[in-house]
Chain A
């Protein structure tokens, strides 16, 4: 029997990775649960949404008493807006959005549609013949992992030849988001990436392309050190998350052949299916800890000033007080205001791109792969409990 204050330990235990949902259900009985280390876990939908719209909860780690070492500062980088509060957050986000979405650039993401399809098709063509020939394929290594890297490189105007560098950095950096790993390892990757970005910015400045980074440079609203940070953030925030969504998507569909068939026949259902995936198997299970700026009372518990607060989005997504039949995967679900992309002022900047990538990826995969079968269920998971996803997803022609 676990008491509520040791739930976090059980959740981060590798053994819980394949199916943490029963633990979340247990956790929801204590909507705001103080852990032994003084962190507060919040697991119910309505409490999470209230806190994500509460100006007393800060995304700036300096406001936590247990603030972790600041990797980007150590690498000599300016802070990124994902870890900032208003007004600075709002200003930087708006200035970055000018190049990415409405009202200034409504066509950026949609305009990448054909390119995304080309990249996706290219990757699938790379293994489809082997698949047809009976070889087992790792969806993660062969597709879900390279796809978003190539996409973000295209968005930022990174030359094709340099893409492999990003794949290496991604391997190292992504682990900073794992609460249990020693951050020392990643410092170097961060520094290298910072140097690369600074150089790339220099080149784009001389010879701007029509990519997003060139646009940001030409607009001249952001100082150079913020440009570097923002570019790195876009890369990190959009990488492993998208990998996991695509992989979780394939896993979920392979477990439900009738749904997979239906989506193959009715591809127009794919956008709704991707939304449901973001609810049912979201890549981001917990947000990075927020810091309480004041004593905050939620669900009868007072979270003291300075405490770290972890919002368990994936648990809120399964809260029966919010979603009917929360444990059923229903691609046609209406009223699906999930937390897949967070909520409030930090809600995912890249959501339109991530949606499009995943729709195109899953549509392409299920169309091309005939009679796919999971080799192992559950698949092996990466140890990260916060950004949760399979390490490999082997499939074969069945």
Chain B
């Protein structure tokens, strides 16, 4: 057993890992390093209940489900990793030594590319509690019109919350429809209809080319790629996420813009594609191979994944050899927007076809099933979550696609005139303004890819 464990990133994955360590009998030291000043809190409510005014941004603390007896180093950033010495270097000059390290630094909101425009009063991103508190305050003040840039899950949820509060909203999305990055074009069309039915001024195939402030530095206008302008006093930049891996530069780990590569047991790879045995990764920052998806490395920005992966990582940090476990959970996430509860299992973007297996688009209650080369790879339910386990089973057993036709509530109409599967129309992420929350990021060994990507973004 190790006797000192460092966890960098004191949020969902970090906390759940620490809890698991204690639950499994680890009695050594745990040091939690987090650059946010507060104890771990939950993010999903930030774009939902908090913006709706149902709970305050400061009421989403994650419960500590057992005494952790951890050393907390909050409000201080990790800036480097010295693997030879087994030390994490902190911004205040201090360091934390470890026998085992868990990297759980997650992601941050992708900022507006023009820093000066991004700094205008009224321009927001939404990732942290402080972001949510400030945005909420602005919404409470009753803006004339909101602009949401990017219609992925976060952007769509923000637009939905604003409409529910009666605020005028324009959504600008570079891709052909909202959510296409996660669900493909066939369902994107449905998502677009949902936005419009709730009074969102949705502009697809449009990018925001510039943000303009008044003489006091307050946002007043946005310029669009179609030549139009929009008078607005609040803009939320929802362009996806950037992985927090810069602090690992020079550490020799296979860490880069696409995340920290690790195996199914959460052990991180070094740049040569060789497994480290003392460094683990979990949560939004990790990318791991999944056998159901041709062993591609998959990075998931999903709450449930962060929890499950953290539990496996923690277990494997204190277990050895054959007692180690793989993290093979089928990816799953949820979202609520426009009065609809959306749940997903599997990887919808890993697909070539999609069909409505149950329910109907007209009634806004249905199950969409995705297939890739004749097997089921994902399912997304809209107000039909109770069937999710069945479709999870189909995914786990690589059931044939299209799935069994003889079941209740079969309509099978996804586009006018069609009754069977249609192309799922998964776009190239490059055409989206928002980053995908599931990224298929290639195969092992991927040292070269990591280098190339770094090179390209340097």
Interface residues of A (CB under 8 A from B): 49-50, 53-56, 58, 85-87, 90, 293-294, 305, 344-345
Q: Given A58-B408, A86-B358, 9 more contacts at CB 8 Å?
A: A50-B390, A53-B390, A56-B406, A56-B408, A86-B359, A87-B359, A87-B360, A87-B409, A344-B386
Which residues of chain B from 382 to 400 have any CB-CB distance to chain A below 8 Å in the complex? 386-390, 393
| Nearest CB of B to A79, in Å | 15
**C-alpha gap A58/B390 in the complex (Å):** 14
**C-alpha gap A305/B406 in the complex (Å):** 9
B214 at the interface (CB under 8 A from A): no
Chain A interface, >50% SS class:
loop
Instruction: Give which listed residue, B365, B404, B406, contacts A90 with CB less than 8 A.
Output: B365
Q: Contact check, B393 vs A87: say whether CB atoms are below 8 A apart.
A: no
Q: Contact check, B409 vs A294: say whether CB atoms are below 8 A apart.
A: no
| Nearest CB of A to B213, in Å | 41
Given contacts A87-B359, A87-B360, A87-B363, contact A50 B407 (CB under 8 A): no
Q: Give chain B residues whose Cβ lies under 8 Å from the Cβ of A85.
A: 408-409
Given contacts A53-B386, A345-B386, contact A86 B408 (CB under 8 A): yes
Q: Contact check, A56 vs B404: say whether CB atoms are below 8 A apart.
A: yes
Q: Contact check, B386 vs A54: say whether CB atoms are below 8 A apart.
A: no
**C-alpha gap A85/B359 in the complex (Å):** 11
Nearest residue, chain A, Cβ from B360: A87
Q: Contact check, B407 vs A56: say whether CB atoms are below 8 A apart.
A: yes
Instruction: Give which listed residue, B388, B389, B404, B409, contacts A86 with CB less than 8 A.
Output: B409
Nearest residue, chain B, Cβ from A297: B397
| Nearest CB of A to B232, in Å | 32
Which 4 pairs between the two chains have the least Cβ-Cβ distance? A294-B406, A55-B407, A86-B409, A85-B408
**C-alpha gap A49/B389 in the complex (Å):** 9
| Nearest CB of A to B389, in Å | 5
**C-alpha gap A175/B63 in the complex (Å):** 48
Q: Mark B349-365, 1 if CB is under 8 A from A, else 0.
A: 00000000111100101
Which residues of chain B from 358 to 383 have any CB-CB distance to chain A below 8 Å in the complex? 358-360, 363, 365
Q: Give chain B residues whose Cβ lies under 8 Å from the Cβ of A55.
A: 357-358, 387, 390, 407-409
Q: Give chain A residues whose Cβ lies under 8 Å from the Cβ of B393.
A: 50
| Nearest CB of A to B165, in Å | 17
Chain A to chain B contacts (Cβ below 8 Å), 22 pairs? A49-B389, A50-B389, A50-B393, A53-B386, A53-B387, A54-B390, A55-B390, A55-B407, A55-B409, A58-B408, A85-B409, A86-B359, A86-B408, A87-B360, A87-B363, A90-B365, A293-B406, A293-B407, A293-B408, A294-B404, A344-B386, A345-B386
**C-alpha gap A90/B408 in the complex (Å):** 12
Q: Give chain A residues whose Cβ lies under 8 Å from the Cβ of B388.
A: 53
Q: Give chain A residues whose Cβ lies under 8 Å from the Cβ of B360.
A: 87
| Nearest CB of A to B63, in Å | 15
**C-alpha gap A56/B387 in the complex (Å):** 11
**C-alpha gap A50/B394 in the complex (Å):** 12
Q: Give chain B residues whose Cβ lies under 8 Å from the Cβ of A344.
A: 386
Chain B interface, >50% SS class:
mixed
Residue of A49, A55, A58, A86 with most chain B CB atoms under a 10 A cut-off? A55
| Nearest CB of B to A14, in Å | 36
Residue of A49, A54, A58, A85 with most chain B CB atoms under a 10 A cut-off? A54
| Nearest CB of B to A332, in Å | 17
Nearest residue, chain B, Cβ from A84: B408
Q: Give chain A residues whose Cβ lies under 8 Å from the Cβ of B409.
A: 55, 85-87
Q: Mark B202-218, 1 if CB is under 8 A from A, else 0.
A: 00000000000000000
**C-alpha gap A58/B358 in the complex (Å):** 14
Q: Contact check, A53 vs B408: say whether CB atoms are below 8 A apart.
A: no
**C-alpha gap A55/B386 in the complex (Å):** 10
**C-alpha gap A85/B410 in the complex (Å):** 11
Q: Give chain A residues whose Cβ lies under 8 Å from the Cβ of B406.
A: 56, 293-294, 305
Which residues of chain B from 405 to 438 have any CB-CB distance to chain A below 8 Å in the complex? 406-409
**C-alpha gap A293/B358 in the complex (Å):** 14
**C-alpha gap A305/B408 in the complex (Å):** 13
Q: Give chain B residues whose Cβ lies under 8 Å from the Cβ of A53.
A: 386-390
| Nearest CB of A to B400, in Å | 13
| Nearest CB of A to B48, in Å | 15
**C-alpha gap A90/B359 in the complex (Å):** 10
| Nearest CB of A to B54, in Å | 13
Nearest residue, chain A, Cβ from B407: A55
Q: Mark B98-117, 1 if CB is under 8 A from A, else 0.
A: 00000000000000000000
Residue of B386, B393, B404 with most chain A CB atoms under a 10 A cut-off? B386
**C-alpha gap A235/B386 in the complex (Å):** 26
Which residues of chain B from 174 to 227 have any CB-CB distance to chain A below 8 Å in the complex? none
Residue of A50, A90, A345 with most chain B CB atoms under a 10 A cut-off? A90
**C-alpha gap A364/B393 in the complex (Å):** 45
| Nearest CB of B to A112, in Å | 26
| Nearest CB of A to B354, in Å | 17
Nearest residue, chain A, Cβ from B393: A50
Nearest residue, chain B, Cβ from A60: B408
Q: Give chain B residues whose Cβ lies under 8 Å from the Cβ of A50.
A: 389-390, 393
Nearest residue, chain B, Cβ from A90: B365
Q: Give chain B residues whose Cβ lies under 8 Å from the Cβ of A90.
A: 365
Q: Give chain B residues whose Cβ lies under 8 Å from the Cβ of A86.
A: 358-359, 408-409
| Nearest CB of A to B8, in Å | 32
Q: Give chain B residues whose Cβ lies under 8 Å from the Cβ of A49.
A: 389
